[in-house]
Structure 1
Amino acid sequence: MTVHASMRKVMKTLKVSLALCAMLITGGCWDEVNLQDVSYISAIGVDYVDDHFIVYAQMISFGVIAKQEGAPPPGSPIWIGKHEGDTNLAAIFNLMDSSQYKLSLNHLKSVVIHERAFSEIEQIIDSLNRLSSTRFNSLVFGTKTDINDLFTMDMLFNKTPLTTPLYAPHIENNQNSYVKPMTLQTLVRGALEPAMVVKLPSLSLLPEDWENNKKRLRFLTIDGTFLFNEKKSVGFVSREKSKGLVWTSEGFRRSLVPIRVDDRRASVVIDTAKSNVKVNWENNKPKFVLKTNLTGHLIEASSEFTDQELVSNVERVVKAQMEDTFLKGLAMNADLYDLEHELYRYHNKAWRHLVQEEWKPTPKDLTIEVKYRITKESELRSKSELH
């Protein structure tokens, strides 16, 4: 019995020793990666020239991302990489080969696709999706501008590039709305929806709005939208010529309507804009009524305006913008208010029949109704006018 007890004690000691050895051998983080050994790509740009994909990678210095006291570090906080390949992934891997550090896409925030690469947009999105490190919540833009110029933009007060429209388009949209910022997920979802026109925001550089010490600054802005119908690019419409999209955008936050009556001028801020489409039928053909309800307030005026004058003129200006935008879209075979998609979703049987007849909406098929309601009293009005 003493021998057995001794053997058990030896075996127990041996097991503990083996366990300790295993802990010493396997302990620690074998896959640990030091931050100084990794370069994180924050934005990717894709161009397509001479049957080759050209990939641009933008990386941002951690020194301008982290919150810190005092002045920002000297020099540009942006590094740009560029390489080409027969496929999009080949170009990315070629870029990795030329890097001094390990390149990571784990923090990819934005993707910019040049209009020359629109013919390959499905392959571009598919290749990005095959990388486990990328996410479909990354922002996506189209552009006509050289991507290298976009990625070397200037920043106000030399702050972090993460506050520019490339990474934070909601800042500009909240101040003066246009089309809703788009992610890879919403791009793919919209492209797969029948009878829907995808509106991809266009990123460009402001030519000469800002300067510092008499040096022109190149700031980013959204200057229009690229239109896709049935996964194919059908054209580009500038922001100036597509103001009607402001009032139907799901991402609307705020916009301004200028009013001019003879020599009198005023500006009205629109705080809310909600639109809906109603379908009526005449001789088995659809007739659409697009109703837009606005609320807002007067912010400046050169002379007196009555409430009725404000209401009627805001409704007139907005309706004209919406009608003009609709016509611009039809000229490019693009239904900018997705009227046909409304049929697909809520009148599917009739839509299938119309598709066989190759039906498309015309200007006569749409009636636009705009209603504006004043919600705030302007500070320009005297106390006597408020009673």
Structure 2
Amino acid sequence: METVPHARPHCASQRSHCEREGTKMRKRLFPIIASVILLSGCWDTRNIDHIVYIHAIGVDYKDGQVIAYVQLVGFTALAKVEAGGGKEKAAVSIGKAAGETFNIATDKIYPSIQQRVSWGHVKSIVFTKRALQKGIVADVIDVLNRYNEIRHTAWVYATDEPLSELFEATPLLNASSYYSLLSNPEEIFQQSSFIRPIRLSRLIVDMDEKADTARLPYLTLDRRRWIENKKPKPMLAVSGVCFVHHYSLQQCVRRSDLEGLRWLEHDIRRTPIYVKQKGKTVASLVVRDPKTKWSIKVKSGEPAFTVQVQAQGAIIELREPLSRKQLTKLAEQTVKQEIRRLYELGKKQQIDLLNLSEQLYRQRPDIWKQHQSNGLIPLGNNTLSVSVKLAIGASGKEKLNYRAGD
């Protein structure tokens, strides 16, 4: 049989051509298929203007009813500022509803809000003293724990102010409430550390611990210090701490009585000391990153506490010609006195302001078990020793001169 020359090469060439065409076709189809797949995942998305974002939650209690407040913050103006546009007046809306429980109260907000609600951006939760005294905090946290949109990173506060007025207080210069003390307390705390803000996750841990006393920053409205557009402007301020043990309010203490608390808190970044001599301020210092160490000994069956504070300070103002040694001694005495006053106040009011029960529980659980009642130890039989060591240097563009004898 006569063979056909070049038949096989021709078929191979045709097959190669078909493969190339197929590859080109697949390359053309791939972007189309990918776009269809990606597009199908966007059918359920909504414009940011079509969703209402809860920014803060308030909880009050009155006449047997739980009263829930919500603060809404518009993100449109915020986005314009972030993009470099001019500032618009911050828009804030406040909702309020009452019910037998916290969940019933919040459900009553939905019928009139007229848009889909997102709880995924809640930045803060504020309890009134009435709510804390009634003991409904546990019920509220139970609801928040069960709702998957709520994040445990929200900041938690206490207050005695009307919640509607508290939520209406916006920052200066038309800034959004997104940058207020309610939602961004860390910025202020890093610059002037005194009362440490607390997140919901930390609060739950502290209240669940047998021996721990949780510290809730206490918010008020400062109506005296600021004026905007020739009118007094109320501003949020942390003016104290509410102490809560196992979901029960013990007492709220004003800021001026808590100066010693800053030496016992964690993550204190920068805090001032005003050194006095014979009742007159002679120097101002800034102390950074103080370190605190606790130790416990047992004397005659009773715990004896020792707290050691070490820190570095810088001179901001020196009004009298003091030597470095004199200034250091006066500053150390100031810190000691602040801690001692806090300790004595706790004994007088029977509030564990220094969290001595927690320290004893961690270090000597056997002794804690002997003395504790409902997790707390009596504050009349123990003793406290305070040791402070400060290293003071100069600060600013030029060194401040000490008196001879440095």
Taking structure 1 as the reference length, what is the TM-score of the superposition?
A: 0.88
Amino acid at match of 2:400: R
Question: Which whole-Å CA distance do the structure 1 matches of 2:381 and 2:158 have between them?
Answer: 28
Q: Cα offset for 1:380?
A: 4.7
Distance 1:369 1:132, change over 3 A: same
Q: Which residue of 2 aligns with 1:98?
A: 112
Does the CA-based 8 Å contact 1:327-1:363 persist in structure 2? Answer: no
1:70-85 matched pairs, under 5 angstroms: 70-74=85-89, 76-85=90-99
Indicate which of 57, 66, 75 corresponds to 1:62: 75
| Cα deviation, residue 292, structure 1 | 1.1
Instruction: Kindly name which structure, 1 or 2, has the bigger radius of gyration based on alpha carbons.
Output: 2
Structure 2 residue 42 is the aligned partner of structure 1 residue 39: no
Secondary structure of 2:169 counterpart: coil
Instruction: Please tell me whether residue 116 in structure 1 is matched to residue 130 in structure 2.
Output: yes
Q: 1:215 is matched with which residue?
A: 231
1:346 to 2:335 alignment: no
Aligned residues with identical type, % of pairs: 27
Does structure 1 retain, via aligned residues, the 8 Å contact 2:302–2:382? no
2:380 matched to which residue of 1?
362
Q: Within 1, Cα distance between the matches of 2:74 and 2:210? A: 42
What is the rounded CA distance, in whole Å, between the counterparts of 1:81 and 1:138 in structure 2? 19
Relative to structure 1, is the Cα distance of residues 187 and 272 closer, same or farther in structure 2, using a 3 angstrom cutoff? same
Cα distance change of structure 1 residues 277 and 27 upon mapping to structure 2, 3 Å threshold: closer
**1:336-378 alpha-carbon deviations (Å, 9 max, x no partner):** 2212212211211222122379851337511111111114456
1:315 corresponding residue in structure 2: 332
Give 1:34 shift: 3.0
- Aligned counterparts, 1:17-28, within 5 A: 27=40
Aligned to 1:191: 207
Cα gap change, 1:356 to 1:254, in 2 (>3 Å): closer
- Select which of 209, 217, 221 maps to 1:201: 217
Of the candidates 348, 364, 370, which is equivalent to residue 331 of structure 1? 348
CA positional deviation for 1:294: 2.0
Q: Distance in 1 between matches of 2:49 and 2:377?
A: 59
SS at 1:259 equivalent: strand
Distance 1:265 1:55 in 2: 49
CA gap of 1:98–1:372, structure 2 versus 1, over 3 A, is same
SS of structure 2 residue aligned to 1:361: coil
Q: 1:260 aligned to 2:249?
A: no
Gaps of 5+ in 1: 1-19
Which one-letter code corresponds to 1:36 in the other structure?
A: D
Label 1:140 to 1:294 Cα distance change in 2 as closer, same or farther (>3 A). Answer: same
Corresponding residue for 1:247? 263
Q: Secondary structure at the match of 2:372?
A: helix
Secondary structure of 1:156's aligned partner: coil
Alignment-derived partner of residue 8 in structure 1: none
Question: 128, 132, 135: which one pairs with 2:151?
Answer: 135
Contact 2:275 2:284 in 1 (8 A): yes
**Matched AA of 1:147:** L
> Taking structure 1 as reference, are residues 332 and 232 closer, same or farther at Cα in structure 2, changes over 3 Å only?
farther
CA distance in 1, matches of 2:169, 2:43: 39
Contact 1:64–1:159 under 8 Å retained in 2: no
Instruction: List runs of 5+ in structure 2 lacking aligned partners.
Output: 1-32
Task: Give 1:373's aligned residue.
Answer: 391
Partner of 2:314: 297
Distance in 1 separating the partners of 2:365 and 2:260: 27
Task: Identify the residue that residue 186 of structure 2 maps to in structure 1.
Answer: 170
Q: Which whole-Å CA distance do the structure 2 matches of 1:214 and 1:27 have between them?
A: 54
Find the aligned partners of 1:234 and 1:346 in 2 and give their Cα distance: 24
User: 1:273: Cα distance to partner?
Assistant: 1.1
1:152-171 alignment, distance < 5 Å: 152-171=168-187
DSSP-derived class of the 1:134 partner: coil
Q: How many angstroms does 1:381 deviate by? A: 2.1
Distance 1:242 1:29, change over 3 A: same
Deviation, 1:331, is 2.6
Q: Name which of 48, 63, 83 aligns with 1:50.
A: 63
Local SS of the residue matching 1:334: coil
Compared CA separation, residues 383 and 130, structure 1 to 2 (3 A): closer
Instruction: Using the TM superposition, name which of 302-311 and 256-265 deviates more.
Output: 256-265
| C-alpha contact 1:256 1:269 (8 A) present in aligned 2 | yes
Aligned to 2:26: none
Post-superposition CA distance 1:181-216 (Å, at most 9, x none):
111110110011121111111111112111123311
Do the aligned residues in 2 keep the contact of 1:229 with 1:334 (CA within 8 Å)?
no
Measure how far apart 1:90 and its partner are.
Answer: 1.0
